[in-house]
Every structure is written in C-alpha cells, then in structure tokens.
Amino acid sequence: MNKFKVAICQMLVTDNKEENLSKAEEMIREAKREAAEVIILPEIFNCPYNNEYMVEMAEDYPGKTTDMLSSLARELQVYIIGGSIPEKAGDKVYNTSFTFNKNGELIGTHRKMHLFDIDIEGKITFKESDIVGYGEEVTVVETEYCKIGVAICYDMRFPELMRLLALKGAEVIVVPAAFNTTTGPAHWHETIKVRAVDNQVYFVAASPARNMASTYHAYGYSTIINPWGDVVASTKETEAIVYGEIDLDYVKKVRQELPLLKHRRTDLYTLEEL
C-alpha cells in the first residue's frame, strides 16, 4: 500500500460551534465520497482563533468535538487528523490536535509546542501564551500507510522540530495551521516548501478559509508539497477541499537520489529530543 489519498478541509470557521461542527462533518463526508483516506482539518476549527473565544469554547477530551471526529472516523473508515481545538485540561487550555484511526481510536494527541506570541508593528499582535499552555511532546502517529508527524502552525517555523519528526520516521508531516494576511503572503509558501525539501517528506499544511468577519484573518492557501518541493495541490483563500496523492515510493526515491538525511554530519553536530 504505497499510495494513499489525503484531503484538507479548508473550512470557514465562525463563532458558532454547532455550525463549525456541521461544516467539518459535511466536508469530511464529501472528502470520503471522493475516496480520501486521511482527512485533515485546520487549526482551531470549532471556534474562532482568538484568545477570548478559545477560553470560552475550550472542551475536555473526550468531549463533543472529539466524539464527533471519532465516530465519523469509525463510520467512514478513514483517518481523521482533527486540525486543532482549544482543549481544557484541569485549569489549563491547550491548542491540541487529536488524530483518530479507522476504528475511531485516538492514536495521537499533539499539544502545540511553540505558541504564537508576536507583535508586528502596525500589522498584528497576538499573544497565545496568555491563555494557552505549552505542549511538551513531539508527535508522530502510526498509520497503516506510514508514520505521520503532526505539529500545529507556528510549530512549523522551527526546523529542529520538523527535522525531529523526519528522524523519528515521518514520511509525511501534517500541520493544521492558520497563518494570517501579514505572515501568510510573506512566509507561508516558502516555509512549507523548504520544510518538505529539507526533510524529504510530503508536507500537508491545512488552513481555515479566510473569514473577514472574524478578528483573525486566516491566510488560507492550504497546500500539499511533495519531497522534491513540487506543489501537489493547493487552493486560495475561500472554502475548498484540497486533495492529493501521497506516494511513499517517491519519498524513497528522493531520499535515495539525494541522501540528505544520511549526509548529516552527526559526528560534528546532533539534534536530540530531551
């Protein structure tokens, strides 16, 4: 089984949780009709990406959103990488991605490790760490196809983490993300391309659609890049499902022809997970 089809549901997220969940369900069902086997949602898909909403709408695991993802995965016999949601754990909130296998079992939980605390003069200020706790684990999930590294948005700006995912065996890296109309045009395409090329993986970056009625204007442009750096599939800022084929033989081929991972000078430098 060296090929499989992935789908990114680039959905429009509003401040109505019920609407967001129905939209996610509708798009997941549509992706299944198109024979996707791994279906991916964007970062913070059940509420707006905004500190007040994230606190107000945070859910425990298991909860309404994760129950829905799990039962859809089981019913439709697909993997679901459930974007991310604000997860309540005790008195903390995390920005967390839950992954379910075809039996609806939870096979991965990634809590965003790098929090988006930025202040770009005259453009955008965001301080996620005011309300979100730091994740502490590197996440690689085992699927029947291959290992998939999962990280969330700002996490992808840290090449060390992306490299660790590849060193832990990931042949695909999936990143639910929500760049914005300042950092998106500046860095989105370049970052996902270079992470794919550096680590010789398929890189799947899943954004919400842009909602100008919301306080945070997501960039959109969900994209799948292959290990050579070619765009497999992409879209613009409006709602859409992006489909692409992952070819694991191609990962092998690129890694054989240009053996970057083997040519690292680990006698001179190392990268380790503590």
Asked if residue 94 binds ligand AKG (CB under 6 A), the reply is no
Among 170, 178, 225, 254, binds ligand AKG (CB under 6 A): 178
Report the 10 Å Cβ neighbour count for 143.
18
* Shortest Å, Cβ 87 to ligand AKG: 15
CA distances (Å), 34 to each of 29, 78, 241, in order?
Answer: 9, 12, 10
Asked if residue 58 binds ligand AKG (CB under 6 A), the reply is no
Residues 138-177 that bind ligand AKG (CB under 6 A): 153-154, 157
CB-nearer residue toward ligand AKG: 54 or 251: 54
Interface map 9-48 toward ligand AKG (x if CB under 6 A): ----------------------------------x-----
Asked if residue 116 binds ligand AKG (CB under 6 A), the reply is yes
Among 179, 202, 203, 250, binds ligand AKG (CB under 6 A): 179
* Shortest Å, Cβ 125 to ligand AKG: 12
Contact (CB, 8 A) for 62 and 85: no
* Shortest Å, Cβ 195 to ligand AKG: 12
CB-nearer residue toward ligand AKG: 143 or 180: 180
Q: Mapped to the 3 state alphabet, what secondary structure does 180-233 carry?
A: ECCHHHHHHHHHHHHHHHHHCCEEEEECCCCCCCCCCCECCCCEEECCCCCEEE
- 193 contacts: CB under 8 Å, gap ≥ 6: 203, 225, 229
Asked if residue 183 binds ligand AKG (CB under 6 A), the reply is yes
* Shortest Å, Cβ 2 to ligand AKG: 32
Number of residues written out for the chain: 274
Positions annotated as catalytic residues are 43, 112, 153
- 166 contacts: CB under 8 Å, gap ≥ 6: 149, 173, 199, 200, 201, 261
- Closest CA relative to residue 205, chosen from 248, 238, 244, 168: 244
* Shortest Å, Cβ 33 to ligand AKG: 30
Give the span between the Cα atoms of 188 and 106, in whole angstroms: 29
List of residues contacting ligand AKG (CB under 6 A): 43, 116, 153-154, 157, 178-180, 183
